[in-house]
């Protein structure tokens, strides 16, 4: 119905347009506009077609359309147009059904998108085709794929060749520290410096891990190994590792579990990583004397976990971007601290790989709450899921 109205409106509009205007439109079109008669001889070839194919209208006039196609497509194309002729004469995107290739005068083939329409003029079939050269787009897509592959290769190198030396520093520093506690021939100031080295190596390791996870996330390869678990020990264990940080920051860290929580379907290692990101943020952006609470309650058939802090909050205009890679709120205290802006995008990837959702509520100066859901237990043992 809408289409019919449009057609009527268009017809009415066309009556008031001078015919010369049509030829001007065809002349300025960057697409090739070509018409052939019922024998597929070219009867119209606009400027766009001349540019794309390299032939002039005079050179192709009266010749078979097949000359614009690579040799191997000629037989199938003939049948294709005839089949189209037998069908009703509505415009149809040939490009939607098969990839079309054009052939330039130079002999170069190029990918194209085309739509074709049959018309009957003075009792004769005429086919009009509009064809777009998409080789530039194909090249851009290919370049993009290559760039992604190159980045993935680089991440492979980073993970393999950078993690090993980082782990070596971490382990050696740890063993020196252990020795210094047993023996007293290591001066305290040396032990202190070795400790700083060890912490730096731990940070390098965590950053490499985050970069790897974010790359996997984009490639759809962030895997989770969910199983049916009790959310209470799951969350308690994840928080255990955060207690030291909370104490040293002077921020209270509490957990509250609603009674009658259902079992959930989750990967404990990934949930630990997720909570360490969220609670880590809450502690990082909450000044001493503040409070961070982790609340777990039933949600649908599964559970919802909320990480609530009394910290600096996030201004409304920046809130929509906090899940973007590398995004950090400007003027936030984070500027002075370490962080790459990868925690929240990874958190979201982990939640979504579980089939849950994550969202954030915050106001500047009034604290932040991040909530995520975990799906209900399935009554099965181990499964493998993957982000997106
Ligand atoms: N609880 C919070 N309170 C205030 N701002 C927050 C909070 N959580 C996140 N933000 C803001 O969102 C930004 C992005 O968070 P995200 O965890 O992705 O990165 P990060 O903590 O800066 O670095 P990383 O997690 O990679 O170490 C933070 O830099 C901060 O500006
Ligand atoms: Mg973070």
Residues contacting 270, CB < 8 A, separation 6+:
224, 225, 350, 353, 354
Mark which of 82, 98, 133 sits at the end of a domain. 133
pLDDT at 368: 97
Residue 232, domain extent: 223-386
Residue 337 has pLDDT above 70, yes or no: no
Q: How many domains does the chain have?
A: 3
pLDDT at 181: 82
Query: Over the stretch 279-317, which tens digit does the pLDDT of each residue have?
Result: 999 999 999 999 999 999 999 999 999 999 999 999 999
320 and 368 inside one domain: yes
Instruction: Determine if ligand 1 sits within 6 Å of the CB of residue 364.
Output: no
pLDDT at 282: 96
106 and 178 inside one domain: no
71 and 211 inside one domain: no
Mean pLDDT of 263-290: 95
Residue 87 has pLDDT above 80, yes or no: no
Instruction: Determine if ligand 1 sits within 6 Å of the CB of residue 312.
Output: yes
Contact assessment for residue 60 and residue 67, using Cβ atoms and an 8 Å cutoff: yes
Instruction: Determine if ligand 1 sits within 6 Å of the CB of residue 309.
Output: yes
Q: Measure 209 CA to ligand 1 centroid, in angstroms.
A: 17
- Cross-strand partners of 294: 255, 307
Instruction: Determine if ligand 1 sits within 6 Å of the CB of residue 322.
Output: yes
Pocket test of ligand 1: the residue of 246, 310, 322 to mutate, having most ligand atoms within 8 Å of its CB, is 322
Q: Which residue has the higher pLDDT, 202 or 23?
A: 202
257 and 358 inside one domain: yes
Residue 88 has pLDDT above 50, yes or no: no
Q: Measure 178 CA to ligand 1 centroid, in angstroms.
A: 34
pTM of the model as a whole: 0.64
Candidate ranges 13-22, 27-36, 211-220, 247-256; pick with highest mean pLDDT: 247-256
Instruction: Determine if ligand 1 sits within 6 Å of the CB of residue 285.
Output: yes
Instruction: Determine if ligand 1 sits within 6 Å of the CB of residue 334.
Output: yes
255 and 150 inside one domain: no
Q: Which of 43, 34, 45, 41 is nearest to 114 (CA)?
A: 34
Q: Measure 194 CA to ligand 2 centroid, in angstroms.
A: 26
Pocket test of ligand 1: the residue of 313, 321, 339 to mutate, having most ligand atoms within 8 Å of its CB, is 339
319 and 333 inside one domain: yes
Q: How confident is the model at residue 80 (pLDDT cuts 50, 70, 90)?
A: low
Q: How confident is the model at residue 322 (pLDDT cuts 50, 70, 90)?
A: very high
Instruction: Determine if ligand 1 sits within 6 Å of the CB of residue 360.
Output: no
**Atom 4, ligand 1: residue with shortest CA distance:** 313
- Cross-strand partners of 326: none
First to last CA, the chain: 38
When the pLDDT of each residue in the chain is averaged and rounded to a whole number, the result is 86
Kindly identify the ligand whose nearest atom is closest to the C-alpha of 346: 1
CATH number at residue 357: 3.30.565.10
Q: Which residue has the higher pLDDT, 264 or 186?
A: 264
Mark which of 158, 190, 218 sits at the end of a domain. 218
- Cross-strand partners of 64: 41
To the nearest 10°, report the CA torsion of 208, 211, 214, 216: -70
Q: Measure 343 CA to ligand 1 centroid, in angstroms.
A: 7
Q: Measure 262 CA to ligand 1 centroid, in angstroms.
A: 30
Across 137-171, b (16+ Cβ under 10 Å) vs e yields eeeeeeeeeeeeeeeeeebeeeeeeeeeebeebbe
């Amino acid at each position: 119905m809408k289409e019919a109205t449009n057609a009527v409106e268009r017809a009415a509009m066309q009556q008031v347009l001078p015919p010369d205007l049509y030829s001007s439109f065809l002349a300025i079109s960057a697409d090739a506009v070509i018409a052939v008669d019922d024998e597929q001889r070219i009867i119209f070839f606009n400027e766009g077609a001349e540019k794309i194919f390299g032939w002039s209208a005079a050179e192709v006039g009266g010749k078979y359309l097949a000359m614009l196609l690579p040799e191997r497509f000629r037989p199938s194309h003939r049948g294709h147009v005839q089949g189209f002729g037998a069908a009703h004469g509505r415009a149809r995107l040939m490009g939607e059904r098969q990839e079309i290739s054009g052939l330039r005068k130079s002999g170069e083939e190029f990918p194209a998108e085309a739509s074709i329409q049959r018309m009957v003029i003075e009792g004769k079939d005429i086919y009009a085709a509009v064809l777009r050269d998409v080789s530039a787009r194909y090249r851009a897509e290919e370049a993009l794929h290559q760039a992604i592959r190159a980045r993935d290769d680089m991440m492979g190198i980073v993970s393999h060749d950078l993690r090993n030396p980082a782990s070596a520093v971490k382990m050696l520093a740890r063993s020196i520290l252990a020795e210094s506690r047993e023996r007293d021939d290591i001066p305290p100031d040396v032990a202190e410096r070795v400790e700083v080295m060890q912490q730096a190596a731990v940070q390098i390791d965590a950053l490499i891990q985050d970069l790897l996870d974010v790359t996997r996330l984009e490639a759809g390869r962030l895997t989770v190994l969910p199983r049916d678990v009790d959310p209470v020990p799951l969350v308690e264990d994840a928080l255990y590792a955060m207690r030291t940080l909370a104490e040293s920051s002077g921020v209270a860290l509490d957990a509250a579990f609603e009674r009658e929580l259902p079992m959930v379907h989750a990967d404990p290692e990934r949930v630990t990583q997720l909570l360490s990101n969220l609670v880590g943020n809450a502690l990082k952006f909450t000044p001493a004397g503040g409070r961070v609470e982790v609340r777990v309650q039933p949600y649908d058939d599964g559970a919802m976990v909320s990480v609530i802090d009394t910290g600096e909050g996030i201004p409304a205009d920046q809130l929509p971007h906090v899940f973007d890679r590398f995004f950090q709120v400007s003027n936030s205290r984070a500027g002075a601290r370490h962080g790459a802006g990868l925690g929240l995008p990874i958190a979201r990837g982990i939640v979504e790989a579980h089939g849950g959702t994550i969202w954030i509520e915050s106001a500047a100066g009034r604290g932040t709450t991040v909530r995520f859901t975990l799906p209900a237990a399935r009554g099965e043992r181990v499964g493998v899921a993957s982000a997106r």
